[in-house]
Structure 1
Amino acid sequence: MSSHGQDGQRDGAPVWAVVETDIGPLMLAATGAGLVNVVFHATAAVRDRALERLTERLGAAPVEDPAAPLLAEAIRQVQAYLAGERHTFDVPLDWSLISGFNRAVLRELATGVPFGEVVGYGDLARRVGRPGGAQAVGMAMGANPLPVVVPCHRVVESDGGIGGFGGGLETKRRLLALEGVLPEPLF
């Protein structure tokens, strides 16, 4: 990896931090190209597994550095979103952890399904030219390396069910409630 002096990352190494949020601890990681990973329920064990995977996939061990400018901005935007103060993200994204159909689906989701709206798995499959690919879209959502920022929580079942979610159904419900799609849980 080349060094990107403007992003403040040491020797171009990927950086990471864990942030406490209302939906539990989130681990965010960034490369010189952009935010590369968001991990739910980032307890020590989950974080360590995520860091091992990132080291394998990126070819460099991420360094804990919440002050790295790109990462700090991503953290600020995620916190503002979760506080209901922000509806969009404008940090650069590094798509290198996902490719092919999954990347196409996630890019369409990121640009084509705004805050407060939902899309069905089948509808999203049609949007990327694969009618009948609802199950494949579900697999793409499960493989999303950038949940929250690339809003896989906005993909729901056509019959009104909320569908699955890698961060857990309670987290999905809370994110949809935050966006006004579902009523706030009573408890």
Structure 2
Amino acid sequence: MMMIGLLMGAALAAAPAPAQAELPPPERRQELLFEAAKLGRIDLIPVLVQHGADVNAYEARGFTPLILAAYNGQTAAVDALMQAGADPCKPDASQGNTAQMGVAFKGDDAIAARLLKEKCDVNARNRAGQTALMMAALFGRTKQVEMLLAAGADASIADTNGRTAVAIAAVQGNDDVARMLGSK
């Protein structure tokens, strides 16, 4: 089903400006945008947006296309979505995680650096009070911890359970990160 949708999307991209009646319905165009973001199909993103897909919409699980692209390591799709107007600061609808938090979880340093250029609140918190720095500490993402600190992340913020990034790193056995954060 997904492949059929992508083929339909590819047809949209390759065809000369089709009549509105030849396009998939708006709901399907939106679904195609989510799929294109996950798969890094930068050829489809501008076409789908041009034909009404919303770059800041939420899919069924509460993720935006940008969060999906970032989480799935699709650097070019992250750029294409932001060029199309995607809000890099918009959290997911269910847990309040941002794209920056997602790449801290997954470990993609290039996308983390790209997102930091957007000047979102580096100390944004999800519903559990966690920050991107806490997630980077949790998973031992030393490079991202360095980048987040350089961007102004506050290592003294505690989540809803009272844990700071250094405490999270220490519990996980991420000693290098705990030492780095303990000196801040």
TM-score under structure 1 normalisation?
0.28
User: Which structure has the highest strand share of the two?
Assistant: 1
- Between structure 1 and structure 2, the one with the greater Rg is 2
TM-score under structure 2 normalisation?
0.28
RCO higher in structure (CA 8 A, sep ≥6): 1
